Every structure is written in C-alpha cells, then in structure tokens.
Structure 1
Amino acid sequence: MSRSSASTSIDDGARRTPDTAPDAALGTMAEKGAFADGAAGAAPDNDGAAAPAGRARGRDPRALADLLPYLRPYRGRALGALAALTVASGAVLAIGQAIRRVIDYGFDESQRGLLDYYFAGMFGVILLLAAATFARYYLVTWLGERVVADLRRAVYGHVLKLSPPFFEVTRPGEVLSRLTTDTEIIQTVVGSSASVALRNLLLLVGGAVLMVVTSPMAALVMVAIVPFVVLPLVLFGRRVRGLSRQSQDRIADISAYAGESFHAIQEVQANAHEGIDRERFAGRVEGAFATGMKRVQARAWLTALVMLLAFGAVNAMMWLGSRAVLDGDVSAGQLTAFVFYAVVVSAALAALSEVWGDLQRAAGAVERLMELLRTEPEIAAPADPVDLPGAVADTGEPMALGVTFQDVTFRYPTRPELPALEEIDLDIRPGERVALVGPSGAGKSTLFQLLLRFRDPDAGRVLLHGVDIAKADPQALRARLGMVAQDPAIFAASARENIRYGRPDATDAEVEQAAEAAAAADFIRDLPQGYETFLGERGVRLSGGQRQRIAIARAILRNPSVLLLDEATSALDSESERKVQAAMQGLMQGRTTLIIAHRLATVLRCDRIVVLDRGRIVAVGPHHELLQRGGLYARLAELQFAEGAAALRSGTGG
C-alpha cells in the first residue's frame, strides 16, 4: 500500500496528531519548556529559548517562607540548631572580652596570678564554641537533607497527579531540573547558608552592641560608614537575583534538550543528526555559561566592594584607635577588643553579602518548585465521589461493565474552533466487543482519553455502567480499565516487574502465566537472566513486537473489567500475532472491549464496528453490513485489504 493511501486507511498509525498531540502549537510550547499559564507572550532570552511570561525574573527572598510548612514538623531540631547557633555566636563575642582583659591586665605584674585564669577561661569559651559549632552543623545539615527529601517527595507525588495535558506543554526535563538542581540549591541554603546567615546576623548585632559599649565615639564613626557598606548590597542584589533565576532556567533548558535527545537516540542516529544536536546543545550550554558568568561577575563585584569598604573601615578605626591610645583616651585592651568586634562585624557583613546571593538563588528555586506544587490537576476527584460498580464479581472474575457516551462533544483547548468529537452517542453493552475505525484524526484515541478521564468532555457525559465518571474517583475508574497502547511504555526494570506493573501484588507464577498467554514467555526465557533481565530505559533491549507482548501480558495480568486496545498487535509478526490473537480472545471473553483497529482479523471478531470521521460517528454495525452499505468503511477496507477486495465486497467471512 502506498504512503498516501496509508494515510487514509483504517489505521490511525503513529501519525495520529489530532488525537495524541492536539496541534503544532502545543509542540512549539513544549519545545520552549513553557507552562500552560506562561507560554503566551513568552519573551526570548539570550539563547533563543523562551521563558514563560508568567515567571518573574527575580523574586524576593521572602519566597523562602514557603519552606516553613516543611520545617514545621522538625521544629524541635530547628530550635536546637538555633540554640546552638546562638551559643556559638555568643562564644565568639565573648572571646573579644577575654582578649581585652588579657591585654589590659595580663601584662600587669601585680595581676600575674590572674593570667592563667584568663587563658583558662578563654580556652573554656573555645571548647564551648567547638561544641556549639558541632551541634549547629549537624542539626542544620540534617534539616537540609530532611526538608529537601520531603520536598522532592511532595513535588514528585503532586506531578504524578497532574493530567496528561500538563505534559503536552511542559517538558519532563524541565520538571526533572526542578526536582534535582533546584532542590540541591534549597538543600545548600537550609543545610548551610541559612545558619551562616543567622550566625552572622547575631555576630553583626552583638558585635555592634559591644563596639558601642567598648568605645561609643568610635562606634559612631563606624555607624556613619555602614551605609556605604550596605549600599552595594542593595544595588547589586536585584541584579544577582534576576541573573540567578535566568541561570536556573538555562540549566533546565540544557537538561530538557539532553533528555529529549537521549530518549530518541535511535532516531537521532538514524537521521545522522548528531552534529546538529551537538551544535544546538553547545549553544544552550554556552548560553547557560554566559548567564552564569554574568551572575558570578555581579556577585564578585558585590563581594569585593563589601570587603573593600568593610575592612577599609576597620583600617580607619585602627588608625583612629591607635591615636586615641597614644593620647590616653582608651586603653590598649579596649582598642584591641574594639578592633576585634569591628573585624567580626565586617566579616559578618561580608558573609551576609555572600549568603544574600545564595538566598536569592534559593528563593528562585523555591518559586519554581512552588509553581509546580500550585499547579492544579485538570482532572481531580470530586469531594464526595460516587462508588463505581465492583471490579470483581462473586466468581472472582471482573464484572463486564457497560460504557456509554451521551451526546459528547470535545474540543482541544488549542483548537477550540475544530471539534475533536461532536455529539457522540454510543452505548456499549457489558461484554460487547466494539471496534473503532476511521482515518487519522477521526477521534478514536480521544474517545479512549475521555473514558480514561485524562480529559473531560466540553458537553455531554461519559458513563461506566450507568455512573457518570466525572462524579467518580479517577483512580477507582482507572482500576477497572486496562489499556494496551500502540506504542507501549516499558520501564527501566526487569521483565517481571514490567509485567507486574499493572498488578503489583501478583505472584511470580501469575506473572509467568500472563507472559505465556501473551506469547511472551519464550523470548523472555531466552533473555540473559530470563524474567529478571533488565530491559533498559523505554525497553531499548527489546524489539517493537516484544515490547508490545510485554504490554499485553501486563493487561492480561491486570484482568480489567473494560479492555482498551489501541492497535495492540500492530508490531507483531504473523506467527506472534496469531498466538497473541488467540490469547486476546481469552482475555476479551466476559469483559467489555473497545479496540482501535484496522486489521481484518481484529475487526471480524468484533460484535460491532463504529466508524468515525472528523469527530462524528458516520456508521455503526457488523463488518458485512457496513461493507454492503458502502461509504467510508468500505473505502477504507478496500484500501487496507486491496488483495482481498472481492471477498470483502461479497461479505464472506463476516
């Protein structure tokens, strides 16, 4: 059959664009990595990738407050860390007073006996500082690890609940970047930078107070200088914050592009596209590098200016203090203590300027994660879900459940002017086998998506055994359905675990029985470790037909009430198809089955055939009746089965 005729055959094929990928606009948005609420109006960045318009370039570090719910369960440890941090900061400040006493009294011959006590006291303070530092480091590091672990679990669990349309406009690489890169940034802040910031804040306040106590006049001079130290922090802070967010976006873009290439590595190599992909990836890497260097340069200027001004102020204080000692206005011990506190305050300011950049980066990371967590699934369980009919009858076998589409109309959001389904009325009786046929884009896969409740119809209702599925829990609904896709999902696990995916509590014997029924047992036994063989990501170690038989075994093991087959035998050779068709007959027995099909063997075994065209049902009936009526079905059948056209026209075998 020619390529042109194939496009009009009963087979949807892999080019089922209106059913599986609503239109090119979605593909474009997915390529940009945009969220549905931010794709419109996205402005290109320096590397050409668009950033969602709904995403701010830099946010206030107060966004870190969103982490409080994740810290609250561990407030005991957080308070312990705060106490240890306070003790450590107090110990550092106490060292200044110890130095003052040593200098003022330690060199006085009349105070010689106290010298040992002063140094012993200082050593005690140092021990206290070491112990408090250990406790602080351990507790805050534990908090960082724990909070990030909880955050990753929360984000992953939430993303699993999002409806499939979310992933049509959001690249998985973007989500993975948030789960890895962004959480690592947060871990650094919670497990390190936050405690460093608090410690230096305490040192800054405590040191400033003790500077005033030690020498009020010199402290006033220092206060006059402080605005010049703080000003660069304010000026560069916003720029660093914006560049940090851009840097994280560029890293996400790198991750998404690489992931897409790796997942389609055979397609990349088959089209000799490696060189082009290398160049495009290199462009994204260079874009990320350029953005990162802008951020580093801004932070370097910020740190250098703060260090210059802070320690320049200390130098000025030492000069003024030295003159005051010579004039007899202050003692050498007071000057030394003041300089010590000035160094502490300056170092605290410098450290805070460094940490400020980390906090801004973490604020951007928190925003990105919260953006995911606040994304509401389009399909959610109602507050009071209606119970669906039992999945298993008293005999231990699944109940055959009826399926009804009542005046269903559906439009993809990106093509509101073109209905994917229009006024569909279809009643499928319990245990009936119904084939869905029609040209590409007729709406067959859309019917499956509505029944699985991946989407909701714009009008009308979908009923499962008389119950509106919109009023039921989606998980309860899907527990009663079994799907075998044309391009089945194979996970990076063993053959046994891939089959068991549909029913995690199944025994090894049940898994092997399902494999036998799906004509998969022979090739599985021939694998290096048999059922324990690792199949590779997306089943790269298997052929297309072998992947499909694994998926069929999974459905057989799941034993659903309603079976959905989307060209389940399309990738099988004739011998394997014969075996699988026999197995499928047993699987379909006593349960409702909907089949997207084009092969004669599949269509002939169905009770009814539903012909769709442009989202409408144009004919319903058994094979021989539809052939006698002529029309679309007869044309498609003739194109698909040209060699048997004479027999098809006569209706033999029907």
Structure 2
Amino acid sequence: MTLFGKTLVEPAKAVASLVGAFVISWQMTLIALVAGPFAAVLIRTFGKIIRRSTKRALENWADMLAVLEETLTGIRIVKAYTMEAAERKRFHRVNRQLYKQQRRMARTDAATSPSIEALGLTVGLLAAGGAGYLVLNHKIDMDIEDLITWMVMLAAIFDPVRKLSKVATRFQRGDAAAERIFEIRDRQKEKRTPGAPMLPRLSGSIELAGVEYTYPNANSPALCGIDLTIQAGQTVAIVGPNGCGKTTLVSLLPRLLEPSGGKILFDGRDVATHSLRSLRRQIALVSQDTVIFNATIGENISYGLRRPKPQQILDAAKKAYVDEFVRELPDGYDTMVGQRGATLSGGQRQRIAIARAILRDPAVLIFDEALSQIDPDSEQRISQAMGEFITGRTAVMIAHRFQTILAADAIVVMNEGQIVALGPHKQLLETCELYTQLYNTQFGNAK
C-alpha cells in the first residue's frame, strides 16, 4: 500500500475499531485510551528528531557535493600543491558528518515502531488484565464473549497507530526536504511587471540618474550617487581600483541587480517599468569568468538564439577567431567541450564567448575584461574585429589593459562606489590623480 493510501485507510480502521470498543464498553475503552497521549508524545518526539536529522543530512549532502565539485574542478591546483591528503581529510570530515546524521535517522526510524508496539502491548495487557478481573468478579456487566471481542477491538486500535507512526516519520522527512526547497522559492525574485511594455531597441542614450546600490547585509553602499550618460554608439571604459563598484555598475544595466535608488533610462524610458526580456534581448555580456556549457561549440556560440543559421554561426566564429582552432577538430563545430569547457584552453573559451556576443547582434555590449585570457597575437586581431563590430553599437567596458583605454570614446574613473572623473585619456592624465596612478601601475606596463 502506498504512503497516501495508509494515511487514508489506517485512521479509518482505528476509528471503526474505536467505535466498536465504545459500543461494547465505553468505560473500559476510556481507561484504555489513557495510552493515547503517551503514543502521541512518542510519535511527535520521534518525528522532531527525524525532521532535524533529515535537514542536517540534506545540508551535509550539499556540503559534500560542493567539496567534491570544488576539488575536482581544481584538481590541477590540488596536485600541483600536493594537497591530495588534505583534500581527502576534508572530504572524510564532511562525509563523516553526513554518516552521523544518516545513522541517527536510521536509529530513530527503527525505534519508532517497536516503541509504539511496546506501549500498545503494555496497555493491552494491563487493560485485558483489568477487564478480566472486573468481569470475573462480576464488577462490570460484561460476558466472556464481549470481553474477547473488546480486546480484539483494542488491538485493532493500536495496530493502525503503529503503522501511522511510520507514516509520521516519513512525512517529517518530506517536510524537512520541502523546507529547503521553499527556502529557495521564498528568495526575492526578479522584479517583473505583468503586461509591461516592450523596450524599443536603443537609439539615443543610456542615462543613470542618482543610481545607488547596496548589497544585502552590507554596511555601506557599493554605488552611491551615480550620474552618467552614455550616448548610443559610444564606447565607454570604466576603470578604478579593485572593489570600487565597476562590475556592480555594469550589472545594473541588464538588471542583473536592481538599484537601491535612482533610475536607469534607455532613450528616456525607465527600464524598471518595461519588459525585462525586451531589455536583455538587446544586451550582450562577455565576462571575465567565461561561462561555457557542456554542449557543442556551435551550441555554445548560438546560446540565446533559437534557430540561428549555420552560416551566421560560422561568420561570428570567424570574427572572433574561433574558426582557427575549430577547423582542426575532427567534429568541427559539433565537438562537445565538456563541463565548463574543460577540453578548451582559457583563450579558446573566451573567443567562444565573444563569438556568442557577436552572433546576438546586440545594441549594447558589456565587456568585463573580455580579453583577459587572450594571447597578444589573438588579442590584436580580435580587437580589430571587435572594433568593426562595435561600430554603431554602445559598448561599456571594464578595462584593465591600455589598448582598451585607447579605444574608448570616454573613460569613467571610479573610486569607493562613486564616479570621480570622466573624460578622454589625455585629459584624465592631466586632471585626475587617481587615473594617472592607475595608468602608471596597470596600464603603463601594458604599453
């Protein structure tokens, strides 16, 4: 019988047996039901233990899988630093915690039915002995046949209770698992306005007006009072020391983060009141941490498009110099790249990400140090191809290389979540001390 079937059948059997016992002798039945509260307390106690253990076990499962993934992903570093023994100890420690919780759950689950059975047997013997004494001494009006029938009814009451105790522990396990699921479901979702109007393709400007952002549980804002206007077709580079808010700023444009204050306007339209999908469809993102999926090279390039033509994929691949190494592969663009692009080099993964952005044909390009893992020869050729592709498009770049700075129409200098200077390269060298310092330490070496 299924778990759901037991939750329907067993209570019905217990109620029917209870009614029969009351009909025969309601006085003796009431005395026997003194065990009811004790049974309820036992079931509740075991259920709580099972629930806590299940929740901790699920958390330990997540920890163990995270340790495995982390170790296997960084296996080259683990081997290079001869940390195999340390990783084995770390895995054993996490696995030991999981084992303890699983063992506790098994012990509690195994003890539930025997405990209820022992309670029922004890109460049954006491009730039978007491009833027999009263009947034999004629202190209660009940014949032997009714006594035996009443005892059978009493046993029939406790048997469903025993089975329901197992059902209760199963429900507690399910409740603990459901709680972890609901923790994820209850997290704040992206703000989507039902029936929001579509945002037209950018043709005028992007304006950030008084934009602020504070990360959850942070003591200070990551961005404060950002006022910036980017004209359509303009290339803007964002520079600044680590942790100044560069990545946070560009993450606000596709609404990967929602500003805590201020507005972001595309052609004077507030993006918060327009369709989120229509906004993101006109933006392409190439991040420093390249994301490659366990699919073919062609599928990775065409990611985000439903039915791209093979020629379109090929053209984008050629512009990003992906075709150079794909032609040498036996399966070409049908080559599987493995999880996180494990079969590709860092430079190859980044070229695929750039080809993906080219194929998307966006109005706005966001580059978070997109050429960080490209060799100098490929960087020069890709920069030339990107220069042609960027023409007529708005590009926002987080820059750490001198070549990117020279290609920008305007440079935004950030520090501690604020824009401290804005202008072309030569002007900033003369007027902004922070930019001059960054240029000498980061960009000067690249020159």
> TM range, normalised to the smaller chain?
0.7 to 0.9
**Structure 1 residues 315 and 405: alpha-carbon distance in aligned structure 2, compared to 1, 3 A threshold:** same
- Check if 1:293 corresponds to 2:112: no
Q: Deviations over 1:282-333 (max 9, x none)?
A: 22222232233333333433322211232455567788999989x99445xx
The answer for the alignment partner of 1:128 in structure 2 is none
The answer for the alignment partner of 2:162 in structure 1 is 350
Deviation at 1:555, TM superposition (A): 0.5
| Distance in 1 separating the partners of 2:441 and 2:30 | 94
The answer for the alignment partner of 2:281 in structure 1 is 479
- Check if 1:282 corresponds to 2:92: yes
**Structure 1 residues 320 and 559: alpha-carbon distance in aligned structure 2, compared to 1, 3 A threshold:** same
Say which of 181, 194, 199 aligns to 1:369. Answer: 181
Which amino acid is the alignment partner of residue 408 of structure 1?
V
**Structure 1 residues 216 and 293: alpha-carbon distance in aligned structure 2, compared to 1, 3 A threshold:** same
| Distance in 2 separating the partners of 1:266 and 1:400 | 47
Is 1:450–1:457's contact at 8 Å kept on the other side of the alignment? Answer: yes
| Distance in 2 separating the partners of 1:460 and 1:522 | 45
Deviation at 1:614, TM superposition (A): 2.9
Q: Deviations over 1:427-467 (max 9, x none)?
A: 11111111222222232212101212222334432211211
Which amino acid is the alignment partner of residue 554 of structure 1?
R
Which amino acid is the alignment partner of residue 346 of structure 1?
F
1:9-48 superposed matches below 5 A: none
The answer for the alignment partner of 1:516 in structure 2 is 318
Which amino acid is the alignment partner of residue 193 of structure 2?
P
**Structure 1 residues 274 and 401: alpha-carbon distance in aligned structure 2, compared to 1, 3 A threshold:** farther
Deviation at 1:343, TM superposition (A): 4.6
Deviation at 1:553, TM superposition (A): 0.9
The answer for the alignment partner of 1:305 in structure 2 is 115
Deviation at 1:585, TM superposition (A): 1.8
Which amino acid is the alignment partner of residue 494 of structure 1?
T
1:119-518 superposed matches below 5 A: 192-212=2-22, 222-223=32-33, 226-227=36-37, 229-312=39-122, 329-331=143-145, 341-377=153-189, 379-382=190-193, 385-389=196-200, 391=201, 400-417=203-220, 419-518=221-320
Deviation at 1:363, TM superposition (A): 1.9
Deviation at 1:216, TM superposition (A): 6.8
Q: Deviations over 1:599-640 (max 9, x none)?
A: 333222222222223333333333344345573333333334
Is 1:502–1:557's contact at 8 Å kept on the other side of the alignment? Answer: no
- Check if 1:575 corresponds to 2:377: yes
Is 2:402–2:446's contact at 8 Å kept on the other side of the alignment? Answer: no
Equivalent residue of 1:382, what SS?
coil
| Distance in 1 separating the partners of 2:289 and 2:51 | 44
**Structure 1 residues 221 and 475: alpha-carbon distance in aligned structure 2, compared to 1, 3 A threshold:** same
The percentage of counterpart residues that share the same residue type is 34
Q: Deviations over 1:250-304 (max 9, x none)?
A: 3333334334434444444444333223222322222232233333333433322
The answer for the alignment partner of 1:598 in structure 2 is 400
**Structure 1 residues 408 and 320: alpha-carbon distance in aligned structure 2, compared to 1, 3 A threshold:** closer
Unaligned runs of 5+ in 2: none
Which amino acid is the alignment partner of residue 187 of structure 2?
T
The answer for the alignment partner of 1:32 in structure 2 is none
Equivalent residue of 1:424, what SS?
strand
Deviation at 1:593, TM superposition (A): 0.9
The answer for the alignment partner of 1:551 in structure 2 is 353
Provide the alpha-carbon RMSD of the alignment. 3.2
Which amino acid is the alignment partner of residue 612 of structure 1?
M
The answer for the alignment partner of 1:132 in structure 2 is none
**Structure 1 residues 530 and 224: alpha-carbon distance in aligned structure 2, compared to 1, 3 A threshold:** same
**Structure 1 residues 347 and 529: alpha-carbon distance in aligned structure 2, compared to 1, 3 A threshold:** farther
How many pairs align? Answer: 442
Is 1:401–1:562's contact at 8 Å kept on the other side of the alignment? Answer: no
| Distance in 2 separating the partners of 1:644 and 1:566 | 18
Is 2:320–2:385's contact at 8 Å kept on the other side of the alignment? Answer: yes
Is 1:484–1:551's contact at 8 Å kept on the other side of the alignment? Answer: yes
The answer for the alignment partner of 2:439 in structure 1 is 637
Is 2:51–2:173's contact at 8 Å kept on the other side of the alignment? Answer: yes
Deviation at 1:494, TM superposition (A): 1.6
Which amino acid is the alignment partner of residue 183 of structure 2?
E
| Distance in 2 separating the partners of 1:293 and 1:248 | 13
